[in-house]
Amino acid sequence: MLSVTSTFVETDQAVSPDLLTRAQSGDSDAFCQLCRPHEARLFRQAISLCGENSLAEDLAQDTLVEAWKCLRRYNGRCHFFTWLCAILLNRYRNVRRQKRPVPFSALSPGDLESARGAIDRLTDSDSQPDQAAQQTERDELLHQHIERLPHKHREVIHLRFFVDDSMEGIAAALNCSVGTVKSRLFHALEKLRAIHAKQNENEEEP
C-alpha cells in the first residue's frame, strides 16, 4: 500500500528575536548565525527532492541567498525552517523546468544512501534482505509518484509530511489560507492514490 508518513518531521529550534531583528536590519553575520542550525537539514531536504549531491548543494545555497534577499518578509508565523523549505521548493521548481531530476536508480551507492536517509525512510537495521528490498522499491515508487504531481501539490505534500506538521505554519510559509492548504493536500493525496491505483492496474494486466 502506498503511504506517506511524517516521520521526518524534526523539532524546529526557536528563532532568537534579537538575532532575527539584526538579520532583517542587514546584519549578515546575524543572518549566518540564524541559518547555521538549519544548513544540514536544508541540504537533506534538497537531496530528498533532487537525489543528487551537487545539485542539492546548489539548491540549498540558492535558497539561502534568496532567503537573505527577502528576509524582511519572514514574520514568524511559521517555523523559520518551514519558510526556508518553501523557498527551496520554489528554487527546485525552477530547476525542474531546465533539468529532469536524477532518478534514484541512476545514483551512485553513496548518493543513494544519502537520498534515502534524507527522507528518513531507511529500513530498520534488523530487517531481512527481502524486506529491505521491498521497502526500497516502495520508497522509489512513492518518490516517482510525488514527482508527477503539479508543483502546488508537491509542495504541500513535502511541507506537510517531510518538514512541518502544522497546517497553520504551512499556510504562513506559502502565504495562503489554511483552507487552501487543506484543499491542496486533499487533492494531492487523491492524485497520489489514483496514480498508485493506475500503476497497480498496469502491473496486473497480462
Residue 158, pLDDT score: 86
* Chain centre to alpha carbon of residue 183: 19
Q: What are φ and ψ of residue 127, in 5° steps?
A: -65, 145
Domain that holds residue 100: 17-122+129-204
In a domain, 145, yes or no: yes
**Is 0.75 topped by the overall pTM?**
no
In a domain, 141, yes or no: yes
In a domain, 5, yes or no: no
What gap in Å lies between CA 56 and CA 41, rounded to an integer? 11
H helix intervals, 99-177: 109-118, 129-147, 151-158, 167-174
**Residue ranges of the chain whose pLDDT lies below 50:** 1-11, 101-109, 111-127, 129, 132-133, 135
In a domain, 94, yes or no: yes
* Helix, coil or strand: residue 92: helix
Structural domains of the chain, count? 1
Q: What is the pLDDT of residues 104-129, one digit of tens each?
A: 444 444 544 444 444 343 334 444 54
In a domain, 8, yes or no: no
Residue 13, pLDDT score: 60
Q: Are 46 and 88 in contact (CB under 8 A)?
A: yes
What gap in Å lies between CA 170 and CA 177, rounded to an integer? 9
Residue 178, pLDDT score: 93
Residue 111, pLDDT score: 46
Q: Are 188 and 149 in contact (CB under 8 A)?
A: yes
Tell me the DSSP string of 12-54.
PPPPPHHHHHHHHTT-HHHHHHHHGGGHHHHHHHHHHHH--HH
Dmax over CA atoms of the chain, in Å, equals: 65
In a domain, 135, yes or no: yes
Residue 94, pLDDT score: 85
In a domain, 76, yes or no: yes
In a domain, 155, yes or no: yes
Per the structure block, which three cell numbers stand in for 196? 498508485
Residue 89, pLDDT score: 92
